[in-house]
Amino acid sequence: MNDIAIRVEKLGKKYRIGSRHLRKADPIAASQTPVVRLWSKIRPSWLAPAQTIWALRDISFEIKQADIVGIIGGNGAGKSTLLKILSHVTEPTEGVAEIFGRVGSLLEIGIGFHPELTGRENIYLNGAILGMKKKEIEQKFDAIVDFAEVGQFIDTALKYYSSGMYLRLAFAVAVHLNLDILLVDEILAVGDINFQQKCIHAMEKMSQDGCTVLLVSHNMRVIETLANHCLYMKHEQPAQYGDVLPILQQYQKDIAQDVLLEDLPAEFALNIAKPKVNITELQFHSLMQTLCNPEDTELNQFPTAPAWSSLEKEHPQPASITFELQSDEDIAEAVICINFCKDKIVIARNSSDHSIHKITLTKGQRLHCKVAYNALPLVPGEYIVIVFLLPSRTARPSEAISKLRSVKAVLHGNRTRGGYVVLEETWKIEPLSV
C-alpha cells in the first residue's frame, strides 16, 4: 500500500443540465429585479425540466508511485473531469479518490496564476500554495525562469503574457516545485514542437525522481513514447487500465469504427440509393511501432525513436486494408478505388495502374480483398480511408456503383510533422567558385 500514489474506487460525477435555478443565498440572485426572480421561479413549471448527465461513472484503478499514466478517450469521456476531481477543483458525486502526496496540476492555461501579478510574484505564490518555503523557491527560481524562457518578462504582469508564455511558465513552475503527483491535461497542445519535447523530457526526469505523472492527450505518439501505463475512458462504459500497447490497439480499433459523413471530403458526400455492389467488413491494419522483443520470431513490432530512425528504411511501416465485396448483379468491369483523406482533403489514392484492381463480378459472388502497403509515406496522425467501386477508370465518385465505405486509420511513429506526406529525397549542395 505504501507504493500507491492514487487510488480511485467507483468514482462518479453527475452534472445537471437544462433549466437553471437561482439559489436564494446567491448574491447574484439577490441583486436581480423582481421580474427576473419571478421568472426564475415560474420558468421550470412550463419548460422542460432539468436533466442530469454522468460525466464519470464507476471508475476504479490504482496508480503506483513514479508511474507515467496516459489518459485517452473520445471527447466527453470524462478525462478532464477526472483530473479536476483529483485536483480537488470539483467534488465527486459518488465513490472515493485518494491522493498520497503533494499534487500539482496543469488543467487550463492560467489556472493557479493571478493575471495582475508578475511572473516573479506568481512563482512565489504557487510555491507557497504548494507548501514550499521562500528559501526553497529562491533556490529553484533561476531554473524555473530558464526553463520557461521568459526572463525578459519575469517582472511583467501575466495579463500581458501570450498563451505560450503562460504555458511555459506554468509548466516550469510545476516541474521544479518538488511535486509527488503531476496532473496534465491537453494543455501541451498549445506549445510548439520544441517546447513539447522539452516537457516530455522533464516529465521523464520527474518520474525517475519518484513523481507520478497523469497525462491527458489525444497525441498517441506522446502516450506511446512517454507512458508506461494507460487509462482508456469511454463514455458510459467501464474504463480500461493497463499496459500501453494493448490499450492503444483497442482504442485504435474502436475509433476506426466511428467515421461520420461530415468528416469526408465534399466530393464523397453522397449515398447511393441502390448500389450494385455491397462493401462489408472494411478494416485498416497497421502494426504498432513499439520496442521490439528480441524473442519475437516474426518482426511484427517496430521501435520508436531513437531506434526507429535507424531501422525505418530496413523495416518501413507495414499496413493493409481488408474488405469484402458482394455483387447483386453481373458486372463486366468494376474498378476498386481507395482514398486516404485528412482534414477533408484527399492526400493519397491507390496506384495509377488501374488494371491491378479492375475486377469482374457475377451476381451473388463474394470476394475477400486485401491491399497491402510496404510503406505509407504519411506523417503520424488520424486519416480516413474511403473505399468504393466505379464502373470505369474515368468515372467520377458520383458515378459509384457501390456505397462509400470508410474507416479511420491511425498511424503512429516519430516522423517530423509539418505536412501530410513524408518525402524521401537526396540533397547535394556545393560551393560555387567566385
Please check whether residue 33 lies inside any domain of the structure: no
| 305-321 confidence digits (pLDDT tens) | 333 344 444 445 578 88
Please check whether residue 49 lies inside any domain of the structure: no
Contact criterion met (CB below 8 Å) for 83 and 185: yes
Taking 50 as the pLDDT cut, the residues of the chain under it are 21-31, 46, 288-315
Please check whether residue 433 lies inside any domain of the structure: no
Please check whether residue 123 lies inside any domain of the structure: yes
Please check whether residue 235 lies inside any domain of the structure: yes
Answer yes or no: do 177 and 77 share one domain. yes
Domain containing residue 366:
267-294+301-411
Answer yes or no: do 199 and 325 share one domain. no
Distance CA 110, CA 113 (A): 5
Answer yes or no: do 288 and 245 share one domain. no
Q: Which residue has the cell 468528416?
A: 263
| 170-211 confidence digits (pLDDT tens) | 888 888 878 899 999 876 666 667 777 788 888 889 999 999
Please check whether residue 133 lies inside any domain of the structure: yes
Q: Which helix (H) or strand (E) holds 220?
A: helix 220-226
Answer yes or no: do 235 and 135 share one domain. yes
Answer yes or no: do 192 and 278 share one domain. no
Indicate the pairing of strand 405-411 with strand 381-390.
antiparallel
Answer yes or no: do 289 and 246 share one domain. no
**How many folded domains does the chain comprise?**
2
* CB atoms inside a 10 Å sphere around CB 187: 22
Answer yes or no: do 335 and 379 share one domain. yes
Answer yes or no: do 310 and 169 share one domain. no
C-alpha neighbours within 13 Å on the C-beta side of residue 151 = 8
Which of 253, 280, 313 terminates a domain? The answer is: 253
Answer yes or no: do 158 and 209 share one domain. yes
DSSP of 350-386, one letter per residue? S-S-GGGGEEEE-TT-EEEEEEEES---B-SEEEEEE
For 271-280, give one letter per residue: b (16+ CB within 10 A) or e.
ebeebbbebe
What the block records as the C-alpha cell of 123 is: 512563482
Tell me the β-bridge partners of 407. Answer: 385
Burial class (CB in 10 A: 0-12, 13-18, 19+), 68: buried
Question: Which parts of 265-401 are beta strand (E)?
Answer: 277-286, 319-327, 331-342, 345-349, 358-361, 366-373, 381-390
**Does this model's pTM top 0.75?**
no
Please check whether residue 37 lies inside any domain of the structure: no
CATH of the domain at 181: 3.40.50.300
Answer yes or no: do 69 and 150 share one domain. yes
Answer yes or no: do 76 and 209 share one domain. yes
Length of the chain: 434
Answer yes or no: do 130 and 220 share one domain. yes
Q: What is the pLDDT of residue 42?
A: 54
Please check whether residue 17 lies inside any domain of the structure: no
CATH of the domain at 286: 2.70.50.60
